Amino acid sequence: MAGESPKVFIGSIDNGTTSSRFLIFDQAGTPVASHQIEFEQIYPNPGWHEHNPAELVSSVEACIEKACKEFGSQGHSLSDIKVVGITNQRETTVVWDSETGEHLHNAIVWTDTRTTSIVRELKARTGAGDLTDLCGLPLSTYPSSTKLLWLLRNDDKVKKAYEQGRLAFGTVDAWLVYKLNGGPAKNVFVSDPSNASRTMWMNIHTLEYDEQLISFFELDTKKLHLPKIVPSSDPNAYGQLADGPLKGVRIGGVLGDQSAALVGQCGFSPGRAKNTYGTGCFLLYNVGEKPVISKHGLLATVAYDFRGQNIPPVYALEGSIAVAGSSVKFLMNNLGFFRDSAQVSEVASSVKDNGGCVFVTAFSGLFAPYWIDDAKGTIFGITAHTQRGHIARATLEATCFQTKAILDAMEKDSGHKLEELAVDGGMSNSDLCMQTQADLIQIPVDRPSMRETTALGAAIAAGFAVGVWKSFDELKEINREGRMYFKPQILRKQADKMYRRWNKAVEMCRGWGGDDEEEEEEEEEEGKKEGD
């Protein structure tokens, strides 16, 4: 209509562990159109988890097309979408030929545990104890570094490309930006610090690749192409979409998914924290402009880097839980407990408590603050009384117990007790799960009504790059309506008793099957020698 100010919209690509989405937000942070596509989960062996890199890209492109169609059908003009942001699963490792742009192997997903023996080997190497102070991460199967080493040792195509100086490495953000810009023709090959900090090759203090870190992993940067590290919000660094309905639209910002969720929850001041209950569960605590190297099993990571907007980089303490929503999927797909994962609360509510049942959901070992690579998923306390509801409730509680362990560690590292916890992600839709969380941590849980905070964070990073917003103050009212607060309803004494039982179960699952795995590896090596 005449006289109305032009509307501004921001697109957000969200590539998670199980699906890709494209959302279009208005300037108030409200999603007006979206589309989601699940992609294939590939499990070649126990503990292995892969994605097809081409499908990651094609699913994103299809989501953009479908969401734009919906957007247009509402009477909007695509020309009003000023910029696009990207948020992504982080440590997942993609390798490709730098000359052709073709991927050389399936992406190895962050949950994958095939590198357990490599991690043991690296921990015994001189200098292993110095890594965390430099990069913020402990040696484990989680970061990208060990995944690349496995590929270099086990895939001939990857080895050959490395020896010929044609091997490009990237986390999913770098791969998507590269391909969405048109691949080798434009060669936009960049990564932001919230993603680069998950490789173990970036110095957490300088936000640049570190020669000491790269040398520890015995990598040769003359043979290996690494993406240039650029700010998370930048009007020029990420290029523009080469094809599709938004051809020519700039990519203005990139954030790893957990950093994006902190930004989407407006966690801009030190002491603010969010917990995202997705496939895994990730708690980020804003520590300000200097990294805090954890003494209690947490990770030091980059929250966001808006230097392109003259805002200093901000750091976070992070607690990572490998299995959260995926444990609910396990009950549904593997055990047939229900047909829709949203029914987990209904089944769990069919009983008044866990009936003495404790489920340590260590399908990929245990991450923070335990870092037990050889733990396995174990259920304790099963009796003839145990029903589906008890196991469903114990499954939800497993994520809540691990969140409490992380919060306790954060309090020790930061010297401050959190006053409330902002939450988002699929499992946060369960009122029972969020009430259980508040009961166990004994502080209120704050849940927004619009829970697409990860995608919103990427939109905010991109919007800052092109001046949609110019200061954090302008975002104060974003996503504030309809928030729900869950306050503790049990006594601390009861919460402590439940937590002691959980910790006992954690100790009992430690090392489960570890000896068998070592024997299997030794047998494999023997077989190779005999074959030679």
Longest dimension (CA), the chain: 81
- Could you give the CA distance from residue 12 to residue 399 in angstroms, rounded to a whole number? 28
What is the pLDDT, as a whole number, of residue 514? 56
pTM (2 d.p.)? 0.86
Give the orientation angle of helix 431-441 with respect to helix 492-509, to 10 degrees. 100
Residue 75 near residue 160, CB atoms below 8 Å: no
- Could you give the CA distance from residue 241 to residue 53 in angstroms, rounded to a whole number? 18
Distance of alpha carbon 501 from its chain centroid, rounded? 28
Q: What letters, b where the CB count within 10 A reaches 16 and e where it falls short, cover 178-205?
A: bbbbbbbeeebbbbbbbbbbbbbbbbbb
H or E element, residue 480: none
Residue 139 near residue 118, CB atoms below 8 Å: no
Residue 519 near residue 117, CB atoms below 8 Å: no
Which phi and psi angles does 78 have, rounded to 5°?
A: -60, -25
| Distances in whole angstroms, Cα of residue 89 to Cα of each of 18, 45, 107, 408, 454 | 9, 21, 11, 26, 11
Measured in residues, the chain has a length of 532
Question: What is the identity of the amino acid at 340?
Answer: D
The structure tokens 């640049």 sit at 208
Residue 412 near residue 296, CB atoms below 8 Å: yes
Give the list of residues 6+ apart from residue 412 with CB closer than 8 angstroms, or none: 295, 296
Give every strand in the sheet of 9-15, ordered side by side.
31-38, 19-26, 9-15, 81-88, 251-256
Q: What is the pLDDT along the chain (532 residues), one digit of tens a residue?
A: 444 556 899 999 999 998 999 999 998 889 999 999 999 999 999 889 999 999 999 999 999 999 999 999 999 999 999 999 999 999 999 999 999 999 999 999 998 999 999 999 999 999 999 999 999 998 989 899 999 999 999 999 999 999 999 999 999 999 999 999 999 999 999 999 999 999 999 999 999 999 999 999 999 999 999 999 999 999 999 999 999 999 999 999 999 999 999 999 888 988 888 998 988 898 999 999 999 998 998 999 999 999 877 889 999 999 988 888 889 989 999 988 988 888 899 999 999 999 999 999 998 888 888 888 888 899 999 999 999 999 999 999 999 999 999 999 988 888 878 888 999 888 899 999 999 999 999 999 999 888 788 999 999 999 999 999 988 888 877 777 778 999 999 999 999 999 999 999 999 988 775 555 555 555 555 544 445 4
Sign of torsion, CA 81 87 92 94? positive
- Could you give the CA distance from residue 312 to residue 295 in angstroms, rounded to a whole number? 25
The structure tokens 């508040």 sit at 438
Question: Which pair of tokens denotes residue 191?
Answer: 């990564």
- Could you give the CA distance from residue 178 to residue 240 in angstroms, rounded to a whole number? 10
What is the pLDDT, as a whole number, of residue 366? 86
